[in-house]
Amino acid sequence: MIKKFTISTILISTTAIAQVQLPNPSFENLGNPSPGISTELTGWYSNKSGSSVAQLANATCFQDNTKAHTGNNSMRLETISYFGTAVNGSASTGVINAPNFTKAQGYIGTINYSTSSDDRRYACTSKPDSIAGWYQYTPGNSTEQAKVRAILHIGDYNDPETPVSSNHPDLSANKIGDALFVSSAGVAVNSWKRFTAPFNYVSSATPAYIMVNLTSSNNQTTTVTGSKLWLDDLILIYNTTTDIKSNQLVQNMSHVFCANNNLNVSFETSSEENSIIYLYDVTGKLLKTDKIDNNKINTINLSELNSGMYIYILSGKTFQTSGKFILN
């Protein structure tokens, strides 16, 4: 039975906001402020902002408005040919690095191989239980597989960890834990399918960062082209309800509160940009996506939801906040 709110929203406290989510998880925002690639999905970096050699190939990562699990867009990764060499479709919160034209020496890291001052590390001091999302996949042949890997770490990190011909330092000691999803070899997925992968922890230490790497070809040295991976609605799942406070959360100049079956979102400072709010159930299933006008109070009707706990993520170009609320 659908019921109404009987108390104000219950949200994750400022301490629990360490339970971060990934940037632009439904890929609705386009354009990276740094290193300034307007065609990249906000918060996600492709070969076009990678090391100098990586940038030579055509783009392998795109915002796709023809397929979307929710909202208007998804991410599409394609393994393409560059002068006869297969270039894996890749996106990352880090840097796509190609030290030279030898594929086996390519890697994804937090530091740009060509510009050491370019260090891309996405802060995460919490320990999620799993990473989940939705995907479609067209393999280039019977051996091709899609891959999603998330690595919690301190300091900097490289993936794969093992150096090849001294292409990077071995930073495997910095790993706190990781999660890995690899699709079935050669299996096409033509409608949206949910994936999930648990984090396996190798250290009890607190992580400082998370690096998430996405690719349309799991085999780094593949010679196959044509594999395509679509991703949408990524989420980090937390199975804890500790550190919860009631009433209103103010984070990054945003206000989120509920009343009368509505979730209300406003900002202390107006801006011309729009944000996106995502509503999930506790299993990580995305239920609703709405655009948020940063210039006004936004009201989202939730009367269609059943009683229970829900999660929201409010995502803009320069910030992200998350929280929980209970519908009784």
pLDDT in tens, the chain (328 residues): 333 332 223 333 333 334 678 888 889 889 998 888 999 999 999 999 999 999 999 999 999 999 999 888 999 999 999 999 999 999 999 999 999 999 999 999 999 999 999 999 999 999 999 999 999 999 999 999 999 999 999 999 999 999 999 999 999 999 999 999 999 999 999 999 999 999 999 999 999 999 999 999 999 999 999 999 999 999 888 764 333 332 233 344 678 877 677 788 888 777 777 888 888 876 667 788 888 888 888 888 888 888 777 778 887 776 767 777 776 6
- Ramachandran quadrant class, 114 (left: phi over 0; alpha: psi -120 to 50; beta: rest): alpha
Domain end, chosen from 206, 237, 268, is at: 237
| CATH code, domain with 139 | 2.60.120.890
Contact 292/279 with Cβ under 8 angstroms?
Answer: no
Take residue 315 and report the two structure tokens written for it: 């995502």
State whether 319 and 173 are in the same domain.
no
CB 308 within 8 A of CB 10: no
Domain that holds residue 306: 10-16+243-327
The answer to the question of residue 5 being in a domain is: no
pTM of the model: 0.74
Identify whether residues 96 and 183 lie together within a single domain. Answer: yes
CA angle, residues 5, 11, 17, in degrees to nearest 5: 160
**Does one domain contain both 33 and 159?**
yes
For the chain, report the end-to-end CA distance as a whole number of angstroms: 10
Domain end: 237, 254, 281, which one?
237
Main-chain phi, psi angles of 105, to 5 degrees: -95, -5
